[in-house]
Amino acid sequence: MTDATVVPGLEGVPATHSAISHIDGTAGLLSYRGYPIAELVAQSHYEEVALLLLDGELPKAKDLERFDAGLRAHRQIKYNVREIMKFLPVTGHPMDMLHCAIASLGMFYPQQELSDAERDNASHLDAMAMRIIARIPTIVAMWDQMRFGNDPIPPRSDLSHAANFLYMLHGREPDPLHARILDACFILHAEHTINASTFSVLVSTSTLTNPYHVIAGAVGTLAGPLHGGANQRVVEMLEEIGSVDNVVPFLEARLAAKEKIWGFGHRVYKTTDPRAAILKEMMEDLAQAGHLRQSRQFAIARALEEAAAERLGSKGIHANVDFYSGVLYHEMGIRSDLFTPIFAMARSVGWLAHWREQLSNNRIFRPTQNYTGASTRAYQPLSERHA
């Protein structure tokens, strides 16, 4: 039998039909449910975008109000989850903690198998999704307090999703500008077609496992440095570069050693990722308004993007979403190992939209392989295996 062609990394292979988001990788365009990302960042807010992604349409006022009230009401997490988190090593990466804590939610908020009727019930699925989206920021902020020996700061229900996260993280009323910027970042990270972590969502959902397993698996996938984990490495790389003067020597040395530049390159975009362009513009605006503390890091990032354009642009390698997000979070005084958990917080919406879409037309994922191992052979007892 002739082998079927294997496409490494499934590049260009459609894995599903989806109506959630669309990328034009040549023109550098991204839209959610038909709405260009820039318009959503300029005119909407994360809670509304979440419902748009989950349900397919911009919500009516009463539906948005109900969803937002639900998010606010479900921010608290059970004491038992906190007890489990106490046993985790404080030196562990917050993405490992998040993976573990989300998986544990399935034990404390048991979600038995969904009946056929529940799988078809949009408001039931929205309510399940809303509870997960509401709790992830609490887990991340709680951990950031606990690992430094502090008591977690309980969530507030009078603040938006973004503002409440900053409040739980820093323990003070959030700067409205920071809350607005974080909200924009949440929108920009909310969804991105069939990326690696979302593909993991499709696969795990297709077995009809519970949504906590689905989201924990996606968190684990996002953590990798080739995916969401790149945003932390970008800032570490900028620190290693240290000055604008060192940008070109660093870049040349790195490329000569065949090492990747974090925050560059993309499977789908062959031009600048539109999200990176929006993040950069936000940084420029902040700099002009005198709001940047660490403009040095931003200056290095800009210089690196320029130098990389000369060396890598002709290969279709440009800045991706992870390139400027970390610089922005750093400006808000957020620790670098929380950058990827923040990505996960925002992306939980996209993951859950795909969870719903997969459930609505499910068939278990079960691809095939081209076998390259030994032909069938007889077992050899240990006593007969000589060196």
Least CB distance to ligand ACO at residue 227 (A): 4
Query: Among residues 196 and 299, whose Cβ is nearest to ligand OAA?
Result: 196
Q: Which of 74, 147, 266, 330 touches ligand ACO (CB under 6 A)? A: 266
**Catalytic position from the list 55, 144, 273, 322:** 322
Q: Which of 264, 298, 324, 339 touches ligand ACO (CB under 6 A)? A: 264
**CB nearest ligand ACO: which residue?**
265
Residue 6 within binding range of ligand ACO, rule CB under 6 A: no
**Catalytic position from the list 99, 161, 266, 318:** 266
Q: Which of 81, 218, 321, 345 touches ligand ACO (CB under 6 A)? A: 321
Query: Among residues 129 and 321, whose Cβ is nearest to ligand OAA?
Result: 321
**CB nearest ligand OAA: which residue?**
195
Residue 315 within binding range of ligand ACO, rule CB under 6 A: yes
Residue 341 within binding range of ligand ACO, rule CB under 6 A: no
The residues that touch ligand OAA, with contacts defined as CB under 6 A, are: 192, 195, 266-268, 320-321
Is 386 among the catalytic positions? no
Is 17 among the catalytic positions? no
Residue 12 within binding range of ligand ACO, rule CB under 6 A: no
3-state secondary structure the chain: CCCCCCCHHHCCCCCCCCCCEEEECCCCEEEECCEEHHHHHHHCCHHHHHHHHHHCCCCCHHHHHHHHHHHHHCCCCCHHHHHHHHCCCCCCCHHHHHHHHHHHHHHHCCCCCCCHHHHCCHHHHHHHHHHHHHHHHHHHHHHHHHCCCCCCCCCCCCCCHHHHHHHHHHCCCCCHHHHHHHHHHHHHHCCCCCCHHHHHHHHHHCCCCCHHHHHHHHHHHHCCCCCCCHHHHHHHHHHHHCCHHHHHHHHHHHHHCCCCCCCECCCCCCCCCHHHHHHHHHHHHHHHCCCCCCHHHHHHHHHHHHHHHHHHHHHCCCECHHHHHHHHHHHCCCCHHHHHHHHHHHHHHHHHHHHHHHHHCCCCCCCCCCCCCCCCCCCCCHHHCCC
Interaction partner, residue 155 (ligand OAA, ligand ACO, none; CB < 5-8 Å by kind): none
Least CB distance to ligand OAA at residue 347 (A): 7
Q: Which of 226, 249, 252, 306 touches ligand ACO (CB under 6 A)? A: 226
Query: Among residues 74 and 354, whose Cβ is nearest to ligand OAA?
Result: 354
Where does this chain bind ligand ACO (CB under 6 A)?
9, 195, 226-228, 230, 260-267, 312, 315, 317, 320-322
Catalytically annotated residues: 266, 322
